[in-house]
């Protein structure tokens, strides 16, 4: 059957395909032939065909590309013609600017807004906006430019600010550095960039909150939890990790504070069914845990966020924010989004949320509608062009998530096939070695070749599953005379400092490098055995998705080239390729 047999020639013409290509397009039988046309067709004619072939709805594609087609055009208006052509051209003022663009280091491109995204950045909205998009589609850049645009609109509103928040301290630091390149000093003074946990902890401290906010790894929290486990009803025969998973997936995200609430709360997504009688027997474990935490003057993040909402209301705290921009929304859970919603009144341009469920590497699923954030109609957007990675790298990364359903942050399914890369390059180089020494030698050889071709050492990154793992590769590189620079948990990435970047896969989230090496992708390491060790099949499935997503995220940090290596038995995740 023909690839576009379901459509008429008139429908294909309506997408903007030039008449000269119609016969060829209608004769296509597969995407191989379509991909061959990419080099000869205008980009804005080929892209809608690509999305149709990927299964997108015809009407959606038509609206995406036909937005301005029926507007009257003044054929003598050169400025308007340039505006309409911005998708394909960047107008430079002089030869010097052109040379600067062609030779721009990576940090310049980290704040470059593609002209096709300007409308999204500069459009007023009557409520929350949600922007989805695969890795490399420019979500963070769009979010930064949106923050700047919002800041500019506050010039005549003294004291008002834009809060730009993301999931980790590292990402907040990286975004702050990039915004400083992008914004004037006055614009930057009206933007506060901070990760949501740190912001909340600081605010609570300022308002006399009497508890220390802790994470799972805190020793005091661990003691409280172990004490609570003494309340486990032995007759139910449930393993201990069931209780911690129930706490993290059901009790905390849903702000369950009483036995009655626990008996009623939905447990969709949990593998073990519970009757009301079983729930009643389980609840004392969670009640005891909260009691122990209260005695120790400790609070978990979810409880602290819930209490922050109440505290701000009771004390009538006046916050300076008129808008909040949220980056990496897929990793921010329900308690945080409920808090975020409470920080600004429902009003035009209140919330601008960007994320991608395919990049969820932590266990914080959210349904925005359940947090009081209602994204309606055209305020839901999707970025569909990857400006960072090559199509070959994108296909490798998307292949890691084949057959997995991913949500759109609001309880519905999101596709990973409806975006493409404009750039082409070499296929990712995958190598297998018998032992660590052989793998390290191969990586060293590949890096030496890049350095010999004038690639800066700071534009290369080796990433591994754990800190211990990447430190082994750093030692091997140092022994070979190659300088390295560790991107630790709290260290920023100054682009001027030389050295091959060494980091965990979690650390490079939100960053990009010309060349990326995924090292030690071995069986038992990726996915990490401990991470997927749950007795609950649903928990295990979700944990495995997070591990796949982690590899997907790491792979999509590469701009020009991706190298993947393992030693011993390779990871099962590589066998899909």
- pLDDT value of position 90: 41
Write the pLDDT tens digit of every residue in 411-428.
777 776 667 787 888 999
CA distance 204 to 211: 9
CA distance 471 to 221: 30
Instruction: Check whether 134 is labelled as a binding-site residue.
Output: yes
- pLDDT value of position 98: 40
What are 323's strand-pairing partners? 162
For 426-576, give the CATH class.
Answer: alpha beta
Nearest CA-CA partner of 330 in 367, 372, 303, 381: 367
Which segment, 22-31, 55-64, 378-387, is predicted with the most confidence on average?
22-31
Instruction: Check whether 338 is labelled as a binding-site residue.
Output: no
Per the prediction, the chain carries an average pLDDT of: 86
Which segment, 291-305, 390-404, 407-421, is predicted with the most confidence on average?
291-305
| CA 79 centroid distance within chain | 36
Structure tokens of 407? 């949500």
- pLDDT value of position 491: 60
Contacts of 533 (CB under 8 A, 6+ apart): 540
Contact indicator for 409, 538 with CB cutoff of 8 Å: no
- Interhelix angle for 276-295 vs 219-228, to 10°? 140
CA distance 319 to 338: 16
As a three-state string, the secondary structure of 521-537 is: CECCCCCCCHHHCCCCH
Instruction: Check whether 140 is labelled as a binding-site residue.
Output: yes
- pLDDT value of position 107: 59
On the question of pLDDT at 307 being above 80, the answer is yes
Band the pLDDT of 83: cuts 50, 70, 90: very low
- pLDDT value of position 353: 97
3-state secondary structure of 502: strand
Domain boundaries in the chain?
A: 9-65, 104-204+318-384, 214-296, 426-576
- pLDDT value of position 82: 40
3-state secondary structure of 30: coil
Q: In what order do the strands lie in the sheet with 500-504?
A: 429-433, 558-567, 513-518, 460-464, 500-504, 484-486
**What global pTM score does this model have?**
0.77
On the question of pLDDT at 503 being above 90, the answer is yes
Beta strands 351-355 and 385-390, pairing class: unpaired
Band the pLDDT of 540: cuts 50, 70, 90: confident
Nearest CA-CA partner of 307 in 443, 401, 208: 208
- pLDDT value of position 136: 85
On the question of pLDDT at 440 being above 90, the answer is yes
Q: How many CA atoms lie within 13 A of 466 on its CB side?
A: 12
Contact indicator for 263, 279 with CB cutoff of 8 Å: yes
Beta strands 351-355 and 129-133, pairing class: parallel
Nearest CA-CA partner of 473 in 516, 510, 512, 514: 516
- pLDDT value of position 135: 86
* Strand ranges inside 285-336, DSSP E: 298-300, 321-326
Q: Domain 104-204+318-384 maps to which CATH number in 3.30.720.200, 3.40.50.2300, 3.40.50.300, 3.40.50.720?
A: 3.40.50.300
Q: How many CA atoms lie within 13 A of 318 on its CB side?
A: 2
On the question of pLDDT at 285 being above 60, the answer is yes
Burial pattern 460-494, b for ≥16 Cβ within 10 A else e, equals: bbbbbbeeebbebbbebbeeeebebbebeeeeebe
- pLDDT value of position 352: 98
Write the pLDDT tens digit of every residue in 107-131.
555 667 776 688 889 989 999 999 9
3-state secondary structure of 565: strand
Instruction: Check whether 503 is labelled as a binding-site residue.
Output: no
Instruction: Check whether 530 is labelled as a binding-site residue.
Output: no
Q: Distances from the Cα of 16 to the Cαs of 41, 51, 548, in angstroms?
A: 11, 14, 37
User: What is the arithmetic mean of pLDDT over 166-184?
Assistant: 89
Contact indicator for 413, 547 with CB cutoff of 8 Å: no
Band the pLDDT of 292: cuts 50, 70, 90: very high
Contact indicator for 301, 335 with CB cutoff of 8 Å: yes
Instruction: Check whether 357 is labelled as a binding-site residue.
Output: no
Band the pLDDT of 200: cuts 50, 70, 90: very high
R_g (Cα) of the chain, nearest Å: 25
Helix (H) or strand (E) segment spanning residue 275: none
Between 165-169, 490-494, 499-503, the lowest mean confidence (pLDDT) is in 490-494
- pLDDT value of position 545: 84
Write the pLDDT tens digit of every residue in 313-366.
999 989 999 999 999 999 898 999 999 999 999 999 999 999 988 888 777 788
Band the pLDDT of 80: cuts 50, 70, 90: very low
Higher pLDDT, 464 or 408: 464
Identical topology for domains 104-204+318-384 and 426-576 = yes
Contact indicator for 198, 259 with CB cutoff of 8 Å: no
CA distance 89 to 150: 26
Write the pLDDT tens digit of every residue in 203-257.
999 998 999 999 988 999 999 999 999 999 999 999 888 999 899 989 998 999 9
User: What is the arithmetic mean of pLDDT over 4-33?
Assistant: 89
Structure tokens of 251? 């009790």
Nearest CA-CA partner of 463 in 400, 513, 505: 505
What is the distance in angstroms between the CA of the first residue and the CA of the last residue of the chain?
27
């Amino acid at each position: 059957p023909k690839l576009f047999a379901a459509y008429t020639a008139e429908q294909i013409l309506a997408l903007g395909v030039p008449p000269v290509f119609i016969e060829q397009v209608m004769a296509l039988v597969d995407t191989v032939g379509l991909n061959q046309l990419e080099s000869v067709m205008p980009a804005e004619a080929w892209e809608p065909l690509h999305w149709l072939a990927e299964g997108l709805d015809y009407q959606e594609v038509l609206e995406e590309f036909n937005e301005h087609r029926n507007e009257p055009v003044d054929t003598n208006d050169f400025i308007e013609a340039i505006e309409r052509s911005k998708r394909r051209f960047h107008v430079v003022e002089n030869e010097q600017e052109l040379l600067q663009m062609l030779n721009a280091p990576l940090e310049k491109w980290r704040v470059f807004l593609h002209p096709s995204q300007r409308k999204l950045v500069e459009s007023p909205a009557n409520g929350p906006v949600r922007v989805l998009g695969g890795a490399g589609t420019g979500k963070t850049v769009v979010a930064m430019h949106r923050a700047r645009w919002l800041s500019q609109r506050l010039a005549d509103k003294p004291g008002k600010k834009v809060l730009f928040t993301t999931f980790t301290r590292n990402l907040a630091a990286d975004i702050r550095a990039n915004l400083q390149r992008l914004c004037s000093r006055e614009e930057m003074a009206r933007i506060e960039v901070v990760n949501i946990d740190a912001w909340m902890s600081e605010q609570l401290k300022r308002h006399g909150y009497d508890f220390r906010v802790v994470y799972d790894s805190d020793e005091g929290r661990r003691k409280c939890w172990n004490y609570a486990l003494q309340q486990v009803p032995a007759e139910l025969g449930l393993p201990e990790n069931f209780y911690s998973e129930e706490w993290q997936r059901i009790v905390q995200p849903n702000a369950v504070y009483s036995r009655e609430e626990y008996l009623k709360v939905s447990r969709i997504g949990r593998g073990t069914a519970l009757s009301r009688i079983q729930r009643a027997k389980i609840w004392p474990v969670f009640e005891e845990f909260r009691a122990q935490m209260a005695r120790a003057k400790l609070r978990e993040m979810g409880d602290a966020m819930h209490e922050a909402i109440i505290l701000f209301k009771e004390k009538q705290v006046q916050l300076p924010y008129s808008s909040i921009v949220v980056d990496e929304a897929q990793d921010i859970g329900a308690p945080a989004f409920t808090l975020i919603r409470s920080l600004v009144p429902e009003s035009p341009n209140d919330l601008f949320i960007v994320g991608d469920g395919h990049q969820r590497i932590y266990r914080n699923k959210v349904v925005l509608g359940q947090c009081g954030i209602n994204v309606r109609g055209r305020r839901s957007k999707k970025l569909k062009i990857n400006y960072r990675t090559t199509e070959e790298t994108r296909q490798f990364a998307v292949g890691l998530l084949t057959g997995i359903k991913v949500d759109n942050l609001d309880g519905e399914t999101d596709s990973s096939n409806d975006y493409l890369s404009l750039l082409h390059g070499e296929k990712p180089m995958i190598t297998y070695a018998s032992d660590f020494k052989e793998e390290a030698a191969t990586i060293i050889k590949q890096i030496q070749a890049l350095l010999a071709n004038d690639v800066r050492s700071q534009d290369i990154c080796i990433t591994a599953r754990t800190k211990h793992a990447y430190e082994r590769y750093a030692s091997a590189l140092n022994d070979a005379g190659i300088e390295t620079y560790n991107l630790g948990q709290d260290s920023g990435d100054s682009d001027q400092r030389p050295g091959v970047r060494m980091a965990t896969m979690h650390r490079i989230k939100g960053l990009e490098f010309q060349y990326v090496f995924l090292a030690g992708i071995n069986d038992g390491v990726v996915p990490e055995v401990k991470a997927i060790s749950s007795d609950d099949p649903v928990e295990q499935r979700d944990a495995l998705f997070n591990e796949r997503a982690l590899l997907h995220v790491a792979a999509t940090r590469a701009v020009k080239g991706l190298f993947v290596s393992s030693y011993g038995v390779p990871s099962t995740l590589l066998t899909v390729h």
